[in-house]
Amino acid sequence: MPIQVKRLGRTFFAEVSGLDLRQHLSDDTIAEIRHAWMEHGVLLFRDQQFTTEEQIAYSKRFGKLEHNLRDDNAFVAPLGNLNPDGSIRDPNSDQSKFLRANQLWHSDSAYFAAPAMLSFLNGRVIDPNMPDGHTQWADMQAAYEDLPQSKRDAIEDLVAMHDMQTSRSVTGRVLDPEERQKWPPVYHRMTRIHEETGKKIMYVGSQATQVNGWDVPKSKKLFVELMQHATQEKYIYDHKWTQWDFVCWDNRRVVHRQRPFDEAKWPRVVFRSVVEGTGPDVIEGKGVNEFERFQALHGDRARILAAAE
């Protein structure tokens, strides 16, 4: 049975209905979901009451999972403002400051040489009365396509350094020496080629630090200009959470951010899983054609990686 897909945003973001993702889905259904995902960039499934094991099983159908930043054995991790005992964590704690970087526009794991491909969030602890704490996504593909040709040409071959410390500096968190060593700066093309659709999409976000060969002020000016363009209302979809919403996005196409909320008052926990990226998009300072690499790796099965897992 074909899945039901309804576009909610102007250029992207769709709701998929009629599926219980805890059930084992056929390879055909997974391929259909992946197809809709590549078309719409972000998919929302409502009422998916996953356990951790079920979320892992579903996420793995789309590729190999990234382990949690702080736990090599965890492939689904709670992201929120609760202590392990269920009490609300101090908003001034190190951990809260670290996570608050999620409130800046970003693409997941941009601080890895091979950044995240696909991310999944399940809203497990969401208070129906919480007035804010939404998540927003912006369509970098539509924004890129609307740039004047001269600007697209100007960023075509640029490579930028991305650094986890850059976004953390904004929230007042300094990486300690161990973290600094574990997550050194990395490099990404500013125009990436989407591996599965072949579309060109600009890649900027809160970790972007400096364009290779440029000074920092000139680099920042370009990053700000591109992000201001890409985060105009017409490119954004704003999602208000309901408990058990399951939202899945393609980090190669969109950036996202968490909206602020009263962290001392409302418990908010989303469970997160991530499919890891294929590989570095810059090797020895030169951009890689990611589309060609992906097709070479997966050929006809490029869109149904699901079957491989």
- Residues of span 19-78 touching ligand OGA by CB under 6 A: none
Query: Which residues are CB-contacts of 102 (< 8 A; sequence separation ≥ 6)?
Result: 79, 257, 258
Closest CA to 160 of 102, 197, 107, 205: 205
**The dihedral formed by the CA atoms of 106, 111, 117 and 122, expressed in degrees to the nearest 10:** -60
Tell me the closest approach of the beta carbon of residue 37 to Mn ion, in angstroms.
17
DSSP string computed for 30-55: HHHHHHHHHHHSEEEE------HHHH
Residue-wise burial string across 262-277, b where 16 or more C-beta atoms lie within 10 A, e elsewhere: ebeebbbbbbbbbbbb
Can you list the alpha helix ranges (DSSP code H) found in 119-209?
140-146, 149-155, 164-170, 177-182
Q: Among residue numbers 90 through 109, which ones bind Mn ion (CB under 5 A)?
A: 108
**Smallest gap, in angstroms, from Cβ of residue 107 to ligand OGA?**
9
Report, in Å, the least distance between residue 125 CB and Mn ion. Answer: 18
Q: How many residues does the chain have?
A: 309
The only residue of 69, 79, 82, 175 in contact with ligand OGA, by rule CB under 6 A:
79
Nearest to 306 by CA among 2, 7, 38: 38
DSSP assignment letter at 73: T
Count of residues that interact with Mn ion, criterion CB under 5 A: 1
**By CB under 6 A, is residue 119 in contact with ligand OGA?**
yes
Among 108, 139, 195, 250, which residue sits at the site for ligand OGA (rule: CB under 6 A)? 108
Instruction: Please check whether residue 246 is in contact with residue 120, taking contact to mean a CB–CB distance below 8 angstroms.
Output: yes
255 binds ligand OGA, rule: CB under 6 A: no
Task: Establish if 32 lies at the interface with Mn ion (CB under 5 A).
Answer: no
Q: Is residue 102 within the footprint of ligand OGA (CB under 6 A)?
A: yes
Does position 256 interact with ligand OGA (CB under 6 A)? The reply is: yes
Choose from ligand OGA, Mn ion, none: what does 122 bind? Cβ within 5-8 Å by kind: none
C-beta of 101: minimal distance to ligand OGA in Å?
9
Dihedral sign, CA of 209, 223, 80, 117? negative
CB of 79 to ligand OGA, least distance (A): 5
Is the Cβ–Cβ distance between 63 and 297 less than 8 Å? no
Does position 124 interact with ligand OGA (CB under 6 A)? The reply is no
Q: For ligand OGA, which is the closer residue by CB, 82 or 288?
A: 82
Q: Which member of 81, 122, 135, 166 binds ligand OGA (CB under 6 A)?
A: 135
- Rounded to whole angstroms, the Cα distance separating 103 from 51 reads 26
How many residues touch ligand OGA under the rule CB under 6 A: the total is: 10
d(CA 304, CA 4): 19
- Min dist CB 102 to Mn ion, Å, is 5
Report if residue 227 touches ligand OGA, rule: CB under 6 A. Answer: no
Smallest distance from Mn ion to CB 272, Å: 8
Give the interface with Mn ion as residue ranges (CB under 5 A).
108
Contact residues toward ligand OGA (CB under 6 A) are: 79, 102, 108, 119, 121, 135, 256, 258, 270, 272
